Amino acid sequence: MTSTASASEPAGWLVTPLGRFAVRPGETLLATLLRTGHAVEYQCRSGYCGACRLKMAPAQRHALLPVQTALASVGSDEVLACCCRIAPAHQLDLTAIPHLSSIET
Ligand code: FES
Domain at 85, CATH number: 3.10.20.30
Which of 40, 42, 74 maximizes ligand 1 atoms within 8 Å of its Cβ, making it the mutation to test the pocket? 42
- Confirm or reject: Cβ of 42 under 6 Å from ligand 1: yes
Find the domain containing 47 and state its range: 12-93
Q: What is the pLDDT of residue 105?
A: 45
Q: What is the pLDDT of residue 1?
A: 41
Which of 34, 38, 49 maximizes ligand 1 atoms within 8 Å of its Cβ, making it the mutation to test the pocket? 49
Is a pLDDT exceeding 50 seen at residue 84? yes
- Judge whether 84 lies within some domain: yes
Q: What is the pLDDT of residue 93?
A: 94
- Judge whether 99 lies within some domain: no
Beta strands in the chain (DSSP E): 12-16, 19-23, 53-55, 64-66, 78-80, 84-86, 91-93
The count of structural domains within the chain is 1
CA neighbours closer than 13 Å in the CB half-sphere of residue 90: 16
- Judge whether 1 lies within some domain: no
* pLDDT per residue as tens digits for the range 38-74: 999 999 999 999 999 999 999 999 999 999 999 999 9
